[in-house]
Structure 1
Amino acid sequence: MTVVINMREGLDWKKIKIGARFIREGKLVAFPTETVYGLGADALNENAVKRIFKAKGRPPDNPLIIHIAEFEQVYELASEVPEKAKILAEKFWPGPLTIVLPKGDKVPYATTGGLETVAIRMPANEIALGLIKASERPIAAPSANISGKPSPTLAEHVVDDFYGKIECIIDGGETKVGVESTVIDLTTDPPMLLRPGGLPLEEIEAVIGKVEIHPAVKGKPVNLAKAPGMKYKHYAPDAQVIVIEGERERVKEKINELIKRYKAQGMRVGVMATGDFYKADAYFNMGESEEEIARNLFKALRELDKSGVDIILAEGIEERGLGLAVMNRLRKAAGYRVIKV
C-alpha cells in the first residue's frame, strides 16, 4: 500500500510528519523538488539507500544526490569543503545546483555508488526542505522514475511508476524547472560540469570563473560516473526518439518529410516542437522560451508515449542557458539518434 499525501496547496507540517516518519523508519518517500520529483531515503542508512536502487532498477555504481536543508550539513557529509563550494552555496542554494565534494566517513558507499566523492544539494522547494527538516536526516534522492525512463514532473508520473512499490508519495503539484539539477565537480581544478541542468553554466562561471565541460555531457562514453546521468541510458520513453537539429526552417521541413515517411510505413508518429503545428498522430507544443521547453520536456516524452506513438520526432534548440540541459536530455532519450540539417 502506498500512502499518497496531497500537498498541492503548499507545505502542511502535520502531513509532512507522516513522510518524515517513513524516512526515519528506513522507508521510501517520493517528494517534489523544484526540478523533478525525487525518490528519497535516509542517505546515511545503507539498507534504505539500497531499496532506492532496487525500486528503480538502478545500477549500483550510479551515485545518488544527497539533499540537505541547512548548509552546515555539508560538513557532516564531506571531508573537505573548499571556498568555491561556500561561494556557490551562498549564491545558488537553495536551488538546482549539486556540488561534488570528497566523501565524509558518515556517508555509506551505497549512497555514493562506491565513490570517494559525494554529491550534495539544497532544493528550492518548501515541501522538500520541510521533509528533510522534519525527518532530521539528509535525504538521498534520485529522480522518482524507473531507471532509464523520463523523469517525473508530476505526482501522477510517480504513481504510474511506483504505486504499490514504495511507502509514500507526496503530491506537491507540477515542478517548476522540469530538468534535474546542474552538477559541478569541485574535486578538480578547474571545476568540471558533470551534468547540465536547471542552473545555466553561464551563471556559475560568472561567480567562480572557468568551468570545464566533461565529455559525457556531449555524449562521450565513460567508465566512471561521478554524477547521475553520465554513464547509463536515461530519460527514454518506450517509443523511439529522433532529434532533428539545425536551422529552424530546415528542421521543420525535415520533420514534415519524416512524418510522411514513417506514416507511409504504417507507424504512428508523435512530434514535440516549439510552437509549430505538424500533421502527426500526436503533437506536444513545448512553448518558445528555454524555461518553458525545459519545464515541458519530460511531460512531453511521457504524454507522447502514452498516446501510443511508435516514434517521436523532437526539434533541437540552441545550447545556451537551459538549452544545454534540454539538448543533453533529448539526445540521451534518443540514444544519440540525431539528424543534423
Structure 2
Amino acid sequence: MILDGSSPESIAQAARRLAAGELVAFPTETVYGLGADASRDDAVAKIFAAKGRPSDHPLIVHVPEASAATRFASEVPPVAAKLMAAFWPGPLTLILPRKPDAGKAAAGGHATIGLRCPAHAVAHALLLACAQQDPPVPGLAAPSANKFGRVSPTTAQHVASEFGDSLMVLDGGACPVGIESTIVDCTRGIPVLLRPGILTPAQIEAACGERLRLPSELEGATPRASGTLESHYAPHAKVRLMDAKSIQTALDVLGTEAPRIAVYSRTPMRARSENVLRRRMPDGAPETAQQLFAVLRDFDAAGVQLIWVETPPIGPEWDGVRDRLQRASAG
C-alpha cells in the first residue's frame, strides 16, 4: 500500500497507524526506514519479526528535533550537543546513554541507544504528526525497510518488493543520500566512528573540535550499533570487489561464454559476451552513494549470478561507499 508522502492525509493516516502499534515504511534522506513506535516494545518487536532481524541487534530511533533526544537518552554529552547543532536534521546517528525505562526493545536491550533526526520532509512531517497523537509517539524506531542483511531500499517500490501490499509505505521519491547515516559513539567523552556515511571525518571533527577516533584506538567494549555486522547490504548475487585491471582480465578470460555477470566500474570495460551487463560508476562519491543500492537491486532483478565492482578510490569521501561494498561482498 503505497501512499503519497506529500499528502497531509497520508501523513495523518500513517501517524494513526503507528500510534496503534503497527508498522509504516517512510523515506529519509539516507534510505527508507521500517518504522514503529519506539516507546512500545510490542510495536518494535514487529520490526524484528518482519525483517528477520535478531532482537539484540539495536535499531536507530528517529526523533523530530534535538530536544526530543532526552525522551530516550539519559544525558546528552557536550560532544553530542555540538554534533546535533551541526548536523541535525541530517544523516548522522549518535550513540548516547539510554534511559533505563525508554526504548529498551529498540536498543536491543543495551544500555545505549542510537538517535537521529532525519532531514527528509516526509519523515519530518510524519514525526511531528506522531508527536501529536494521543498518547504521543515520541520517536520512531526505523531500520532500513528490507529483509535483514539485504540491500537497503531507496525508493518506495523497493520497499513494496520486499514486504508486499500489506505494508503501508509513504512515497517520498528516491532518497537523495542513498546510504545509511554516519554513526558516532558519544558515550565515552570523545567522538568514536562506528559506521562511515556521507559525512567525512573532517566534517565531524570541525563540528565538534575533537579528533574522531576509531574503536580500535580505545580500550573497552564498543557499543552495539545498527549496520555494523561484517556481512550486510548484500544482494542475492555474489559481489566481488576488484581493481579495474583484474576485472578486464577476467572478462577477457571468460570470452563469449561468460555466465550472467554484472560489472559496475568507473573504468570502461570490454566484454565479448552479451551476458555481461555493464553499468558505469560515477566519478564522485556522493553520486555513487545515491545510486549504489538501486544499482545492486537492478542487477539482482536482471538475474545476474555475479557482480564485479571496481574498488572505490582511496579517500575519506569514499569511506561510506567502500564500507557498504565491503560488507555486501563479505557474505
DSSP-derived class of the 2:105 partner: helix
Return the alpha-carbon distance in structure 2 between the equivalents of residues 225 and 315 of structure 1.
32
Conserved 8 A contact 2:15-2:130: yes
Mapping for residues 183-222 of structure 1, pairs under 5 Å: 183-208=183-208, 209-215=210-216
- Which residue in 2 is equivalent to 1:267? 259
Is 2:40 aligned against 1:42? Answer: no
- Change in 2 beyond 3 A, CA 1:264/1:276: closer
Separation of aligned partners in 1, 2:247 and 2:223: 34
Matched, 1:285 2:280: yes
Q: Tell me the CA shift for residue 275 of structure 1.
A: 5.6
Identity of aligned residues (%): 38
> Partner residue of 1:178?
178
| TM-score normalised according to structure 1 size | 0.88
Counterpart CA distance in 2 for 1:66 and 1:288 is 33
Deviations 1:1-21 (A, max 9, x none): xx21023xxx32222101111
Match of 1:14 in 2: 9
Question: Quick one: distance in 1 between partners of 2:232 and 2:96?
Answer: 24
Q: Is the 8 A contact 2:21 2:37 kept in 1?
A: yes
Tell me the equivalent position of 1:219.
none
Q: Equivalents in 2 of 1:79, 1:177: separation in Å? A: 30
* Paired residues, number: 319
Matched-pair contact (CA < 8 Å) for 1:97–1:121: yes
**Which AA in structure 2 matches 1:131?**
L
CA distance in 2 between counterparts of 1:328 and 1:183 reads: 13
Q: Does 1:27 align with 2:22?
A: yes
2:246 to 243, 254, 268: 254
Structure 2: runs of 5+ lacking an equivalent: 132-136
Equivalent in the alignment of 1:227: 225
Contact residue 286 and residue 300 of structure 1 kept, 8 A = no
Give the alignment's Cα RMSD to 1 decimal. Answer: 2.0
Q: How big is the shift at 1:261?
A: 3.8
Counterparts of 1:147 and 1:123 in 2: how far apart (Å)? 22
Q: Which amino acid aligns with 1:214?
A: P
SS at 1:23's partner residue?
Answer: helix
Superposed CA deviations along residues 295-322 of structure 1, whole A, max 9, x for unmatched, are: 1111111111111111100011124343
SS of 1:296's equivalent in the other structure is helix
Q: Structure 1 counterpart of 2:235, which letter?
A: P
How many Å apart are 1:278 and its aligned residue? 4.1
Structure 2 Cα separation of the partners of residues 334 and 200 of structure 1:
23
In structure 1, the partner of 2:236 is 238
Structure 1 unmatched ranges of 5 or more: 217-222, 245-250, 337-341
Distance in 2 (CA, whole Å) between partners of 1:291 and 1:277 is 23
Measured in 1, the distance between the counterparts of 2:176 and 2:226 equals 20
Match of 2:134 in 1: none
How far 1:283 sits from its partner (Å)?
A: 1.6
Q: Secondary structure at the match of 2:205?
A: helix
- What residue in structure 1 maps to residue 319 of structure 2? 324
Q: How far apart are the structure 1 equivalents of 2:250 and 2:69?
A: 50
Answering whether residue 128 of structure 2 is matched by residue 133 of structure 1, we say yes
Question: Which TM-score applies when normalising by structure 2?
Answer: 0.91
